[in-house]
Every structure is written in C-alpha cells, then in structure tokens.
Amino acid sequence: MLRVDDVCKTFAGGPGRDDLEVLRDIRFQVENGEFVSIIGPSGCGKTTLLRILHGLEPPTGGAVFVSGKRVERPSPLSAIVFQQFNLFPWLTVSENIAFGLEIAKFPAEECNLRTDRLIDLVGLQGFGRHYPHEISGGMQQRVGLARALALDPDILLLDEPFGSLDAITREQLQREIAGILSRSPKTVVFITHNMDEAIYFPTAFW
C-alpha cells in the first residue's frame, strides 16, 4: 500500500547558516490494513516525514509510492490529521467536513450524505451547525478526523493528533478513534513521541 524508498530531506540554511539534514535514507513498507506507529522525540523529523508521505513536502532524495503510484502532490489516496486542529474558523462543523468533497466536485447530495454519516461516526450529532470556536478541542479534533475520512482515503496519516489535548480528553479520544477505525478500517501511519500511544492503537484492534 505504501512504500518509502531511501527518502532524504535537507532544508537549506540560508545566508550564514548551515543546511539542516532531518531525514536520511528512510526506507520502509506498510501493507494494506496495517497500523504502523513511528515514535521519536520532538524535532527528529517525524512531521516532515509525514508531510512527505502525503505529498505536502517534496523529498530531497528518494521517493514515496502509494498503491504503486509515485507521490508528488497531495491526492485523495491519503489524508492527514494534524496535531493542531487546522479547521477553517469561518466554516461550520459540517462545512469543514465537506470542504474536501466540494473541492473534489462531489454532487451536493453526496456531500450531504457523507457529511451526515461522518458526523454520526465521530459522535458529533447536533453540532453540525456549530463553528470551531463553539466546540471543545477534543470535538475539533473529531472534526479533523471526519474531514480526513470524508474522501475515503486508502491511507490515514496521523500527526500526533492528541498532542494539544489535556490528559482526560486525550484518553477519551484515543478510545473513540480506536473504535472508529475498527468500524471503518484504514491503513494507518501514526507518529508520536509517546510510547504508550504507540503501543495502544495496534493492540486496540486485537
């Protein structure tokens, strides 16, 4: 499903600064339906790698392939959930979830059907017309997950999605997302600096 071939990434340092190498010769494969956790300390390049997997960031060397197709830009084959909620504040919950569908020019009826189904899936019934500032951080992250699932991607990329939440909300959302993924299975790459999280999700599906 996902193949990473010798990916490297170096950021140019600019005048008077050295270049910064953050990734070197990264190589791995993820099979269809597999849940892979990538763990490492803050600042080691995890988010950069995930952005490359999604096509948001070009590698300096090497290549990424999804279902045999080389990744050169974001596509509906994968979706990413960021640590920060990254919702559009001027759009409602429903409109945020439907945003990718509308960009992809899905018919309005299909957009509405998928949005309603996802609102139910992530437990946000009754909040479709609310704006991001009117709901909690945990609920905002559920909106981000629903938006990522809207286009039914082959691969779901999770970029420390619980890092900005308090401990109680984090544990609750972990359980809820594990339940969602068990009902709607995906190939998942999950990055974290938390060993407990890295272990929890693969075992949650056994």
The whole-chain average pLDDT of the chain stands at 86
For helices 93-103 and 137-149, give the axis angle rounded to 10 degrees: 20
The tens digit of pLDDT for each residue in 133-165 reads 999 888 888 898 888 888 888 898 988 877 767
Question: CA-CA distance, 170 to 138, in Å (whole number)?
Answer: 8
Asked if residue 122 has pLDDT above 80, the reply is yes
| Residue 7 banded pLDDT, cuts 50, 70, 90 | very high
Question: CA-CA distance, 90 to 92, in Å (whole number)?
Answer: 7
The tens digit of pLDDT for each residue in 91-117 reads 999 999 999 888 888 899 999 999 998
| Residue 60 banded pLDDT, cuts 50, 70, 90 | very high
- Show the tokens assigned to 24: 């070197």
The tens digit of pLDDT for each residue in 8-43 reads 999 987 777 888 899 999 999 999 888 888 888 888
pTM of the model as a whole: 0.82
CATH of domain 41-56+75-204: 3.40.50.300
Let me know: does 173 contact 96? Beta carbons within 8 Å.
no
Find the length of the chain: 206
